[in-house]
Structure 1
């Protein structure tokens, strides 16, 4: 896949050498009641490739081994063992296998109406954790659905899936300073925040804040601020009829051109095209 992403289009290629164990909401009513679209575990090789220009629900993707490539914050990055990435709703989402390396992974895809698909539902994150327990829970659910399909047992497996998702998506839970800081920033994205202001709000030095954010969120403080602004802008463009200029101002950009450039770098599209694309009818949600 090309290093740039400006010309990406909706793509879903699996290939004969990729194997996936998938549980979909339509085959598992308890999963649907949790507002989860589908979960799965996969083992991929080229030409496996997925591009979603219309990611309607939040998506968690964890690497169990090998290596693939993931489009994160507008850049292609290696996705290696132990990495967990979160893609919020309304962003360009893409990943693919690479030659000479099988890529083992698991995923959880949420429905658009799930609280995790709301702007604040998933803490933006690139984390290094052990995703094997999540994969085991998904495989347990897969085998239960394929065999007896006992409702009580199925619900227990889904409880475990949700437990591990929660563990992976709440890196700020034990870091109260960061939790308070980003909650206040999210509530006032118009404000022209500086690193010094953010550090003062957290009650730590700028360098300490930088280290904490890099460790907990996989981003610098200012990168996190940009991410939150673009995420909120994408949500507004996808769910309202507000003008691009108004959305830019709402999330802290005085210059619509600067906003447009940043938005394109992060999502792959200009805001105007993004807004038009989200107004087209949606088809069936594809597999991971």
Structure 2
């Protein structure tokens, strides 16, 4: 089988060399979606596997760039500075009018987005190109994969699904460059995993010490992190989760109060009823009767 020839793209602002073995999937047709991308200032986007020899040089480029390294490795040079290695989990953020080069001498899996300058993105991108750890790379990869798969289906109703994928892409861009810094995002993810575990076992006797141990933090660091990210203490979060679960069971099951108390970690019906009234302002019985009307 004949080898695919490399492609070379040259303009006044960029040089691109794409080896024949490289593969790129673009977020483009079917036609209902491409307009929605452009309407939201996403000029181009794609998932790529680049092979040995792939290279891009850009000079005073006219768009913003987000470049996620999903696997393999690449090299980057900004403004003729020192070469930086890009590894899985790294994110290169480049505002328009930047000068940079990136390439690989092995293989490199990447997700990338070109966003219009003179748009809502300008203030988020700032003026300096830089590399940092990605906070939302895995999610961006999944949603772009989903977009491409739906695009390939070319169903009559694909437009609605593709619009939803674009909304998620926009959300993750906003979170990535306009929200938490990476360290705070990591802490938020840790807590999300913890809360999911707690939700599955609300009858367990949770304590700040056991929660902190699960999260891999010291007791003081855990308490401070939870307060910073939720506005509540750890045990207040657990109490809210228990009361919300109790409210669901009061509304949607015929469980007795003693059964509900046991399910959410209270030793007696009385202690549960007292806690629920303190939380909701109504006794469990009053809550069930009022919400059932």
TM-score by length of 1: 0.52
* Cα deviation, residue 142, structure 1: 1.7
- 9, 14, 35: which one aligns with 1:10: 14
1:187 match: none
Q: 1:147 aligns with which of 148, 153, 167?
A: 153
Task: Give the 5 Å matches for 1:150-229.
Answer: 150-170=158-178
Of the candidates 3, 17, 20, which is equivalent to residue 24 of structure 2? Answer: 20
Asked if residue 108 in structure 1 is aligned to residue 113 in structure 2, the reply is yes
Match of residue 9 from structure 2: none
Q: Which residue of 2 aligns with 1:38?
A: 44
Deviations along 1:137-188, one digit per CA (max 9) or x if unpaired, are 112112222322622111111111112212221356799xxxxxxxxxxxxx
Q: Does the C-alpha gap of structure 1 residues 80 and 155 become closer, same or farther in structure 2, counting only changes over 3 Å? A: same
- Number of equivalenced pairs: 165
Query: Following the alignment from structure 2 to structure 1, what is the Cα–Cα distance between the partners of residues 139 and 182?
Result: 21
Partner deviation per Cα, 1:222-259 (whole Å, 9 max, x = no partner): xxxxxxxxxxxxxxxxxxxxxxxxxxxxxxxxxxxxxx
Question: How far off is 1:57 after superposition?
Answer: 1.1
* Aligned residue number for residue 246 of structure 2: none
Which residue does the alignment assign to 1:242? Answer: none
1:115 alignment partner, SS class: coil
**Residues 41 and 106 of structure 1 are in contact (CA less than 8 Å); yes or no, is this contact kept in structure 2?**
yes
Q: CA deviation at 1:32?
A: 0.9
Counterparts of 1:173 and 1:79 in 2: how far apart (Å)?
A: 19
Partner of 1:263: none
Alignment of 1:109-128 (within 5 A): 109-116=114-121, 118=122, 120-123=123-126, 125-128=130-133
- The TM-score, its normalising length taken from structure 2, stands at 0.51
Contact 1:49 1:95 in 2 (8 A): yes
Structure 2 gaps of 5+ residues are 1-11, 184-293
* 1:91 alignment counterpart: 98
Q: Distance in 2 between matches of 1:135 and 1:173?
A: 19
Separation in structure 1 between the aligned mates of residue 42 and residue 91 of structure 2, nearest angstrom? 18
Deviation at 1:9, TM superposition (A): 7.3
Q: 1:49 aligns with which of 25, 36, 55?
A: 55
The question of whether the paired residues in 2 share the 8 Å contact of 1:26 and 1:32 is answered with no
By how many angstroms is 1:121 displaced? 2.7
Q: What is the alpha-carbon root mean square deviation over aligned residues?
A: 2.8
- Measured after TM superposition, the shift of residue 25 of structure 1 is 8.3
SS of 2:125 mapped into structure 1: coil
Say which structure, 1 or 2, has more relative contact order (CA 8 Å, 6+ apart). Answer: 1
In structure 2, do the counterparts of structure 1 residues 78 and 37 end up closer, same or farther at CA, with 3 Å as the change threshold? same
Q: Residues of 2 paired with 1:174 and 1:47: CA distance?
A: 31
Matches of 1:55 and 1:70, distance apart in 2: 16
Report the equivalent of 1:82. Answer: 89
Unaligned runs of 5+ in 1: 1-7, 176-288
Change (3 A) 1:102 1:72: same
SS at match of 2:20: coil
